[in-house]
């Protein structure tokens, strides 16, 4: 599997846990080479019947023409964060587009549209996977939720479906142990996770409440930091 940076970054996202009522929300600022280029707001709800997340992402292209991008996402999942349906609405300098996805046993179906007739594609998948839209940062929340910190296996593997590429693959997530991370000028104790796609390495810092405080992609000089 290749996770393509494309620019919209991506490796999106991060990890965060819910509060006792199964709801959580947060805001992340996005930085490239130390310069803030945008933010993502998200909300997550988890019940015994299923889970759902929504997000609003606004940022500008850090290189080339000053393109402004606005994305809105909605993902419906089962209680184990396996996807049931997904939609992404995009606005790139006024040019609107969309992506829709539906999921059935061992199959994912995608529909993409902007100008002209929508395009459709399908993908065969395994039985146990999560969705990772490489444009939306908070989707790493689901990997962090599924990572078993009590396991003797410090490296765990997770299948993901990448809708932008109509592709799937396996990510290796490794627990590097406890670490101290500086977030908004404050030091926080956190688990340091390393996510390896085979093409890129993504670093996550998850606090004791399973909230992802920071993500870094050194190859892209990208950092995403929780502010709320």
User: What one-character-per-residue DSSP string does 74-131 give?
Assistant: EEEE-TT--EEEEEEEEEETTEEEEEEEEEETTEEEEEEESSSS-EEEEEE--SS-EE
- pLDDT band (50, 70, 90) for residue 52: very high
Q: Please check the confidence at residue 10 and state whether its pLDDT lies above 50.
A: no
The pLDDT of residue 104? 85
- pLDDT band (50, 70, 90) for residue 90: very high
Mean pLDDT, range 136-146, rounded to an integer: 89
The pLDDT of residue 91? 94
Mean pLDDT, range 1-6, rounded to an integer: 45
Residue with tokens 């920071």: 214
Mean pLDDT, range 121-139, rounded to an integer: 89
The pLDDT of residue 207? 84
> What is the C-alpha separation between 93 and 166, in angstroms, rounded?
24
> What is the C-alpha separation between 88 and 177, in angstroms, rounded?
35
- pLDDT band (50, 70, 90) for residue 225: very high
Query: What are the extents of the domains in the chain?
Result: 23-226
The pLDDT of residue 63? 78
pLDDT tens for 149-186 read: 888 889 999 999 988 777 788 999 999 999 988 877 78
Query: At 140, is the secondary structure helix, strand, or coil?
Result: helix
Q: Please check the confidence at residue 217 and state whether its pLDDT lies above 60.
A: yes
Highest mean pLDDT among 10-14, 98-102, 112-116 belongs to 98-102
Q: Please check the confidence at residue 6 and state whether its pLDDT lies above 60.
A: no
């Amino acid at each position: 599997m290749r996770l393509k940076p494309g620019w919209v970054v991506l490796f999106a996202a991060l990890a965060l846990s819910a509060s006792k009522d199964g709801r959580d929300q947060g805001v992340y600022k996005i930085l490239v080479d130390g310069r803030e280029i945008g933010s993502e707001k998200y909300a997550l709800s988890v019940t015994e019947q299923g889970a759902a997340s929504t997000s609003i992402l606004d940022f500008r292209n850090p290189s080339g023409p000053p393109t402004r991008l606005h994305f809105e996402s909605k993902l419906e999942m089962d209680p184990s964060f396996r996807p049931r349906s997904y939609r992404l609405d995009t606005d790139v300098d006024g040019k609107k587009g969309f992506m829709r996805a539906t999921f059935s046993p061992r199959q994912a179906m995608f529909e993409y549209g902007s100008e002209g007739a929508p395009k459709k594609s399908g993908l065969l998948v395994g039985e146990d996977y999560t969705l990772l839209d490489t444009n939306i940062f908070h989707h790493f929340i689901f990997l962090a939720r599924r990572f078993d910190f009590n396991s003797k296996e410090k490296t765990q593997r997770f299948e993901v479906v990448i809708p932008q590429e109509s592709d799937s693959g396996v990510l290796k997530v490794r627990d590097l142990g406890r670490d101290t991370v500086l977030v908004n000028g404050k030091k926080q104790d956190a688990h340091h996770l390393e996510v390896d796609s085979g093409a890129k390495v993504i670093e996550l810092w998850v606090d004791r409440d399973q909230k992802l405080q920071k993500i870094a992609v050194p190859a892209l000089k990208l950092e995403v930091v929780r502010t709320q």
